Amino acid sequence: MAAERMGAEKALQGLPGWARAPGERDAIVRKFVFEDFNAAFGFMTRVALKADKMDHHPEWSNVYNRVEVLLTTHDADGVTGLDVEMAGFMDGVAVGLGGK
């Protein structure tokens, strides 16, 4: 059963630092900045392990110390509680690694 769509606006109420994705797509985005590539890659590794357990994978890119993330639930064609959970997890990991 697919997760229930809540929409980006509702999701963002509890996610400081996150924003609505540009364009028509119902998604949330954030750019994380770390001290160096090692910290950025460590962030992505921790998130990848969580994503596999949740069976909920982010769209992201990495350039040196930056990781840009887009979250949406493809089965629901928009933002769901899975995205909020993943965003909260990412925020916690980033803080632990000195990210902003």
Task: Please report, in tens digits, the pLDDT of each residue of the chain (100 residues total).
Answer: 458 999 999 999 999 999 999 999 999 999 999 999 999 999 999 999 999 999 999 999 999 999 999 999 988 889 999 999 999 999 999 999 999 9
pLDDT of residue 31: 98
pLDDT of residue 3: 80
Strand segments, DSSP code E, in 53-95 are: 59-63, 66-71
Rounded Cα distance, 67 and 82, in Å: 20
pLDDT of residue 2: 56
pLDDT of residue 1: 44
